Amino acid sequence: MEQLEIFPLQSPCIGVCEVNNKGYCKGCLRSREERFNWLTMTPAQQQEVMRLCRGRKARVEAARRKALEGAQNEPQEQPGWDF
């Protein structure tokens, strides 16, 4: 049974309409199809897109943390110590 929404879901668009190399928006993390079809989707479909976007955001943030940790673990050159 599908839960009814009292208010329509707001689009997750944050106005950063640029796509990455995989075709996902860098701002809202929706695919091209998800962006273009948002207004014709049922509330259940929109909820599913929102769920997918939360998962994508979590993966992006995890990758950023991992990259940052890797950069911090690399030996840093000391400026002025090249004698």
Counting every residue written for the chain, the total comes to 83
In the chain, alpha helices (H): 32-37, 43-73
Domain ranges of the chain: 16-71
Contact between residue 15 and residue 27 where contact means Cβ atoms under 8 Å apart: yes
Task: Quickly state the pLDDT bin for 83 (edges 50, 70, 90).
Answer: very low
Per-residue model confidence as pLDDT tens digits over 1-51: 556 556 778 999 999 999 999 999 999 999 999 999 999 999 999 999 999
Are the beta carbons of 45 and 51 closer than 8 angstroms?
Answer: no
What are residue 51's DSSP bridge partners? Answer: none
The answer to whether the Cα torsion of 55, 14, 44, 39 is positive or negative is negative
